[in-house]
Amino acid sequence: MRKISRLGSEARLGWALVAPALAVIALIAIFPLGWTFWESLHLHELRMPWLGKPFVGLANYAEIAQDPRFWAALGHTAFFTVVSISLELLLGLFLALAMNRVFRGRGFVRAAVLVPWAIPTVVAALLWRFIFESQGGILNALLVDAGILNQPMVWFIKASTAWVPVILADVWKTTPFVALLLLAGLQNIDLSLYEAAAVDGANAWWQLRHITLPLLKPAILVTLIFRTLDGFRVFDLIYVLTGGGPGTSTEPVALYTFNALLQNLRFGYGSALSVVIFAITFGLALFYVRGLGVRLGGDES
Amino acid sequence: MRPPDLIFLACAAILGCSRAQSKRETVLTFSGSALGAEGTLVAKQLKRFMQLNPGIRVELQRTPDDASQRHQLYVQWLNARVGNPSILQLDVVWTPEFAAAGWVLPLDRYQPQRDEFFPATVTANTWAGKLYALPWFADVGLLYRRTDLLAAEPKSLEEMVKNAQAAMSRRGGPRYGIVFQGARYEGLITGFVEYLGAFGGRIIDEKGEVVVNRPEAVRALEFMRDELYSWRVAPLDVLTWHEEEARFAFQNGNAVFMRNWPYPVAAMSDTAQSRVAGKFAVSPIPASANAPNGHSTAALGGAQLTKNNYTEFPDAAYRLIAYLTAPEQMLERAQAVGQYPTRPALYDDARLRGAIAIPLENARRAIESATPRPVTPIYTELSEILQIELHRALVRQAEPREALNSAAAKINALIERTGMRKLMQGASKT
């Protein structure tokens, strides 16, 4: 009896101690989310007060389901996420392996590699926009001088070519971050494993496949989860580089939502879009954590 | 009061709208373009107004100079029924939206003289038969041409294309024939409206019907596309260009013609920065020679002044608006910053001659040919639909007819969704 009551009071104390933290979480995470969801069940157009603010149930969600621009935007987002993350992982792994070597000036190289990551996205995007500009852009000048192009190319008027600067800019900017995460993973691998493998006559490729990659898996998964969520919410880069054009062929869901919510001030519909994006990213995170067993906590598997 | 309103109220209060409201004194707040020379001018005119009206104090409330940012702020404030700023500066396409929302009230009870303004500027500010704002200054689309390459202004769009081709093929001729604003933004609509008028088409007709997919409109869009791909007089680059990129191309001597607003005239006349100083002229954009109903058309831009519905001092606010839009102040504005008066009578005034850089007769002709963009409360969303579809056609993601059909269907759906059908039919009967 005594033991149980003591446990109970300890539990109560525990709850009391975490209560402030829980309250903060409720205030800054759950409350806005709940409000957004509540908004999404209404027809609420700030620009059209004559429509009132009637409760419309799931009508906004039904509109999303039938909205080709939303589905296209979702496709663009998925495309952007998959392509840019694949490239970033490959290049990042390569960089991390190189940085893991012992060589002179390693500290300097590690710091230097991080420079693109340190530049604000909007600035980086503008930089890449200038590079790809049709008139006076550096890239066009180089390609024409080298004889690869006959005349300057207008990168931003074709969907296929408009993606090039977008993906390049993202890869350029984020690869260092990926490399750093992977480097941290690499440094956790016990060097004696490689020594043993070398004694057994395993070559470098075999060591990479059977030692490095399996042991790097947790770091890779953590990187993936960060990058997938970032990729799905991509906004500023595309906003600056293409504005979602030509037409709407590079428009990601975040840009479309911004447009509905803040340009057209369709609070109901825009909120519904926000909830959908939240659901998708939450689902992805859940998939990584549950499905692939990513450990975000400190406990070892 | 609903919670969102409370939040907006709080924000508005923080943003400094609560100054001295409880006192007896009449305090107006003026918001509008107040940068550089324009700011100096506004300050001067407000000071003079206060001297003439000792009981009224006018304060300047800064708002972003970027139109869409200012729009967003206004909408948030007005949704919260904030009385400041008491004077609003509206873009030419906002008036019906603000009127239908009840954010601004008709000015008719003050009996403004409608016929003293250019008709197009009055139409743009009229909703359901009532006038909601007074035109402050006008902006119009103009055709710039190189006088060293061409003898006379082209009589038709077709002639313009021919002239452009001829000048381009001359030895040392410019790289581009025609440059305009073709990026996916509002500027694309203004250019399209001009070609649409040139071919006798419209976006929405007098009966409130969406007619943007009629044959005239398709021909107008095909013409724009042919300039890019068939006759190759316009570079594909224009599909990413705004006003400034077009100006740079023309100013550096790289184009025969340019579609733009009046603002570049000053910079381009300056020999220090312009290669075409003294070598260009401006005229109205011509009609098509092959369209029986086509007429020379300029898109109408510019700013309007009106009073906030929630201001404590509506009469004083109107007095300030009337003062700022009076002939003397307009003339002074033209002299200080080169903006075109909205009163035709001023174009007979010799004092205006030095103020605007182009012959008065050309300016007046251009404003007389000006057509407002669709006068409807849902303009912004309508414009977004059209921007996307026009751009799709121009970058060859879609055929012109297909793009315009799609635009028409989406605009009709928008009209239904917002309950605008009846209102728009009623509004056109004025």
Which residues in chain A are contacts of B94 at CB distance < 8 A? none
* Residue B411, both tokens: 């605009």
B418 touches chain A (CB under 8 A): yes
Query: Bridge partners of B283?
Result: B143
Over the stretch B297-328, which tens digit does the pLDDT of each residue have?
999 999 999 999 999 999 999 999 999 999 99
Please report the number of interchain residue pairs, chain A to chain B, with beta-carbon separation below 8 angstroms. Answer: 79
**Alpha carbons A130 and B269: distance in angstroms, whole number:** 28
B399 shares contact with chain A (CB less than 8 Å): no
Would you call B418 and A263 a contact, using CB atoms and an 8 Å cutoff?
no
Measured between beta carbons, the chain A residues lying within 8 angstroms of B418 are 45, 48, 51
Quickly state the pLDDT bin for B427 (edges 50, 70, 90).
low
A41-291 sits in which CATH class?
mainly alpha
Q: Domain coordinates of chain A in residue numbers?
A: 41-291
The reply to whether residue B183 touches residue A47, judged by beta carbons under 8 angstroms, is: no
Give the pLDDT of residue A296.
59
pLDDT over threshold 60, residue B15: no
Per-residue pLDDT at B2 exceeds 70? no
The segment(s) of chain B belonging to CATH 3.40.190.10 are 3-139+302-371, 141-299
| Cβ-based neighbours of B389, under 8 Å, separated by 6 or more | B398, B403, B404, B406, B407, B410
The first and second tokens of residue A162, run together, are 């408009």
User: Which residue of chain A has the CA closest to B385?
Assistant: A247
Assigned token pair, B163: 């002239």
Alpha-helical (H) ranges within B170-295 are 186-198, 215-229, 243-251, 264-268
A51 neighbors A45 (Cβ within 8 angstroms): yes
Res B76 pLDDT > 70:
yes
Instruction: List chain A residues with CB under 8 Å of B97.
Output: 47
B chain contacts of residue A135, beta-carbon cutoff 8 Å: 237, 245, 248-249
Tell me the chain A residues in contact with residue B183 when contact means C-beta distances shorter than 8 Å.
243, 245
With residue B258 as reference, give the H or E element that holds it.
strand B255-260
pLDDT value at B341 more than 70: yes
Quote the ipTM score. Answer: 0.86
What is the DSSP secondary-structure string of B330-374? HHHHHHHH-PBPS-GGGGG-HHHHTTSSS-HHHHHHHHHTEEPSP
Cβ distance B184 to A156 less than 8 Å, yes or no, reads no
- Per-residue confidence (pLDDT) for residue B357, from 0 to 100: 76
Cβ within 8 Å of A, B 1-20: 2, 4
CA atoms of B345 and B370, how far apart (whole Å) = 17
Mean pLDDT computed over B122-129: 93
Q: Do A245 and B419 touch (CB under 8 A)?
A: no
State whether residue B252 sits within 8 Å of chain A by CB: no
The pLDDT profile of chain A, 301 residues, written as one tens digit per residue, is: 455 566 688 899 999 999 999 999 999 989 999 999 999 999 998 888 888 899 999 999 999 999 999 999 999 999 999 999 999 999 999 999 988 887 788 888 888 888 999 999 999 999 999 999 877 789 999 998 998 888 888 999 999 999 999 999 999 999 999 999 999 999 988 889 988 998 998 888 898 889 999 999 889 988 999 999 999 999 999 999 999 989 999 999 999 999 999 888 899 999 999 999 999 989 998 888 887 766 655 444 4
**Taking a C-beta distance cutoff of 8 angstroms, is the pair B361, B284 a contact?**
no
Burial of A209 (0-12, 13-18, 19+ CB in 10 A): exposed
Cross-chain residue pair B239–A246, CB shorter than 8 Å: yes
Token readout for B396 is: 């060859």
pLDDT in tens, B386-423: 999 999 999 999 999 999 999 999 999 999 988 888 77
The gap between the terminal CA atoms of chain A, to the nearest Å, is 37
Structural element, H or E, at residue B136: strand B134-140
Asked if A235 and A262 touch (Cβ cutoff 8 Å), the reply is: no
B392–A156: do the CB atoms touch at under 8 Å?
Answer: no
Tens-digit pLDDT profile for residues B262-277 = 989 888 988 999 999 9
Q: What percent of chain B has pLDDT over 90?
A: 76
Of all residues in chain B, the one with the smallest CA distance to A53 is B2
Q: Does B219 reach chain A within 8 Å, measured CB to CB?
A: no
Domain over B141-299 is classified CATH 3.40.190.10: yes
pLDDT at position B24: 65
- Interchain contact B236–A (C-beta under 8 A): yes
Closest in B236, B381, B418 to A51, CB measured: B418
- For the stretch B281-296, pLDDT in tens is 999 999 999 999 999 9
Q: Which pLDDT belongs to residue B21?
A: 46
Contact A49 B101 (CB under 8 A): yes
Spell out the residues 6+ positions from residue A175 whose beta carbon is closer than 8 angstroms to its own: A87, A88, A91, A92, A95, A116
Amino acid making up residue A192: S
Distance (Å, whole) CA B85 – CA B63:
10
pLDDT confidence of residue A109: 84
Which candidate, B304, B320, B245, B321, places its Cα nearest to that of B70?
B304
A26: tokens are 């409720």
Cβ neighbours around B110 below 10 Å, total: 15
- Residue-wise pLDDT for B194-245, tens only, equals 999 999 999 999 888 999 999 999 999 999 999 999 999 999 999 999 999 9
Name the residue with tokens 């119009």.
B140
Say yes or no: B289 contacts chain A, CB-CB below 8 A.
no
Nearest to B75 among A47, A157, A247 (CB): A47
CB-nearest to A157 from B4, B185, B240 is B240
Q: Give domain B3-139+302-371's CATH architecture.
A: 3-Layer(aba) Sandwich (3.40)
Question: Do the Cβ atoms of B391 and A135 come within 8 Å?
Answer: no
Closest partner residue to A264 among B380, B388, B391, by Cβ?
Answer: B380
Cβ of B391 within 8 Å of Cβ of A247? The answer is yes
A6 in B contact zone (CB under 8 Å) = no
Is the pLDDT confidence value at B84 over 90?
no
CB B72 to CB A265 under 8 A?
yes
Task: Say how far apart CA A242 and CA A244 lie, in whole Å.
Answer: 5
Separation CA A113–CA A179 (nearest Å): 9
Contact criterion met (CB < 8 Å) for B391 and A245: yes
Which amino acid is residue A92, in one-letter code?
G
What's residue B430's pLDDT?
A: 40
Q: Does A45 touch chain B (CB under 8 A)?
A: yes
Residue B8 pLDDT: 52
Would you call A61 exposed, middle or buried from its count of C-beta atoms within 10 A (0-12, 13-18, 19+)?
middle
